Structure 1
């Protein structure tokens, strides 16, 4: 009831509603686009996908544009954020349409990856901008907890819904990956047009500095150093970011494992290059809906996290809420994951979606409260960069550890240990949560 009342209070703000609309459209398009790429790269019957191939694809798509993070932060603190949301989504619409053309043309893989990289590079600006703009559409700082529970989680659910649409289309016999990517381009276009409902200066930054493009590189380096220096003075935010990075690493490793289980272990029982028990096309068709179910259950976990976190974070404190989420994951992940069978692993997908999103909501709130607005864009861009680098590093580890069919006791045990270590790192010292807090920025 408390969450419902606070959500209603937020929805009364026109700026919050409009920013939320942009996020929902933008991230639903992300879900459509990304799952369309997964269907093309991982589940095409003619491709013999391995964990190493998945890791390589993630590195191509994530690592290069992670370098955009610091540049995005400097620019977000100097550009009108409404204009970033408008131009970024319109540009992604054009680039995604180009990806659809490349799929149809059957071009070499490097051209396809370059196109996908361009779309996801712009995505860094948009997602960081959405987070940095959120404090400008709420009336009071205390509403940030609920806003962070509702807005990013609603975006994640929108991405899940977009992904679910792709899975549903495949179940009906739709086989055009290019057509699905083009659908994502149309939704990106809608997100860009929705941004026009926000005022040009409504989302900040509060102080708009002029930036000459020839000085962009120098300014970016100084901006990155300033952002890091500011973060070192905000120890609570730095700890939360470290804990969230570790949880993202764990989630990434398990994502690759589930992909391989869906592709091989839960279908024909054979890995890439092995003799299978059935035809490859049939196995691929069976594996894709299982992946869709895993995505849907993880999305349901995000929704439950949005409902629980405002209550839990206020009762325990944001840091202890992150610690509790990591501890729950440390206990349940091996208990369910070591079976390597669909029902327990899919149950784990729901629970890990819940714990990961609960920790992210609390982390977002800590960073937004502890970081000054003039540095917020840079810090959120660094946050985003850590997020992607952790996922790629996890995929690389999974490529080394996972056998062809995706069953690895070593990987499951290692992830459980990392979750436990994260719980110890994130928790507040005994008694600290009961002490009066003097300022949000202090540790």
Structure 2
């Protein structure tokens, strides 16, 4: 079944458009904040501050994810998506006001933590709802289309933020106005989710303790237990954990190099515009992965596809990362994003196919928690070791080694299952 036939399902189209609106707003909001914190010419920045910024973007859902997962398997997901998107929209406007006023301390940090945490909650809800709008045999293709195009739309939102900063100014007021426009994405996502009938997105049944508090307390344990008992999911977690750690290191180095070391390359400027181009190359890799993953898995099988992508990412780190110049960084962004997206799509499909609906929300929530914490820890450790210029061949080599460790973990878990 091709994309045209998938789009014939009205529920899938509506869920896809809600995802697009949500992720466009996410990309715009996060890049607007990054411009204010990292690329504001009025501010100096250190690797530790950049790592703190990534913590704001990645850590919130890691802290609440297991509990949110239990709620996604208990509450009407349609109602959750509507309420969460509207709440996020209000908080985006408050955060934008703080940015416009030049508030870069604890109030802005806490608002950003909550906004991004809600975004992660919405993303888990969208993923858990997908099997309710497409037939089970088409989940791999539908997930590839939704996740891939959603990631591309997120990058488009980031590109809109870069363009808006150019129009509205790079100071506090311009950053605040840019960040506030992300409100539109949240409202559109809520309106689109509200068009579903009550209960249409699941859960089909509630396999939970009688009280919400008990369900929340059980979320982490249940999600971990189900994931560990499902070999395809456990092996995929090993591969994706490695990618997130290695990608986190590369992400920190790229931001530092773009701010302090890279020189303009033809029409491509260093700084925030150059980071936008890097994101564009990453989006291209994600898009190509969405087009080719189903065919790759069909030809090579899931195991070989994952191993091939991890090996390719390790080689890309060394071949295109070590020169530490803007042109090769663009190639590295494409290859690493492609490889990581193929692995992610394989893991997503395993969760959606092999985990029952009564536990799927908790596993997706645990999934986000583990991978975001892994990326935050990797960025934090790298920030302690990297010079302010971002020029560190040792960290690039370390990222390549992490990919090889992920290959070993994936192969080991898969082999043990085959022997059992």
Q: Distance in 2 between matches of 1:216 and 1:334?
A: 49
Q: Distance in 2 between matches of 1:430 and 1:14?
A: 37
Could you tell me which of 384, 393, 396 is aligned with 2:377?
393
1:71 and 2:67 equivalent? yes
Could you tell me which of 35, 42, 67 is aligned with 2:38?
42
- Greater shift in the superposed pair: 15-24 or 59-68: 59-68
Aligned to 2:181, what secondary structure does the other structure show? helix
1:32 and 2:28 equivalent? yes
Match of 1:276 in 2: none
Q: In the superposition, relative to structure 1, how do residues 355 and 210 fare at CA in structure 2: closer, same or farther (>3 Å)?
A: closer
Could you tell me which of 175, 178, 186 is aligned with 2:176?
178
| Offset, 1:209 | 6.5
Aligned to 1:314, what secondary structure does the other structure show? helix
Contact 2:314–2:403 (8 Å) recurs in 1? yes
Could you tell me which of 117, 121, 134 is aligned with 2:130?
134
User: What does residue range 73-222 of structure 1 map to in structure 2 within 5 Å?
Assistant: 73-139=69-135, 141-172=136-167, 174-175=169-170, 176-208=174-206, 215-222=211-218
Q: In the superposition, relative to structure 1, how do residues 28 and 60 fare at CA in structure 2: closer, same or farther (>3 Å)?
A: closer
Q: In the superposition, relative to structure 1, how do residues 208 and 54 fare at CA in structure 2: closer, same or farther (>3 Å)?
A: same
Q: TM-score, normalised by structure 2?
A: 0.93
Could you tell me which of 58, 62, 65 is aligned with 1:62?
58
Contact 2:128–2:361 (8 Å) recurs in 1? yes
Q: In the superposition, relative to structure 1, how do residues 173 and 105 fare at CA in structure 2: closer, same or farther (>3 Å)?
A: closer
1:315 and 2:299 equivalent? yes
| Alignment: residue pair count | 413
Q: In the superposition, relative to structure 1, how do residues 427 and 108 fare at CA in structure 2: closer, same or farther (>3 Å)?
A: closer
* 1:155-188 Cα deviation digits (max 9, x unpaired): 1011011011112223446431111111101221
Contact 1:76–1:129 (8 Å) recurs in 2? yes
| Offset, 1:422 | 1.7
| Offset, 1:135 | 0.7
| Offset, 1:432 | 11
Q: Distance in 1 between matches of 2:294 and 2:270?
A: 39
Match of 1:305 in 2: 289
| Offset, 1:431 | 9.9
Structure 2 residue runs without a partner (length 5+): none
Aligned Cα RMSD in Å? 2.2
Q: In the superposition, relative to structure 1, how do residues 320 and 375 fare at CA in structure 2: closer, same or farther (>3 Å)?
A: same
Contact 2:60–2:114 (8 Å) recurs in 1? no
Match of 1:370 in 2: 354
Q: TM-score, normalised by structure 1?
A: 0.88
User: What does residue range 244-393 of structure 1 map to in structure 2 within 5 Å?
Assistant: 244-267=240-263, 286-393=270-377
| Offset, 1:106 | 2.5
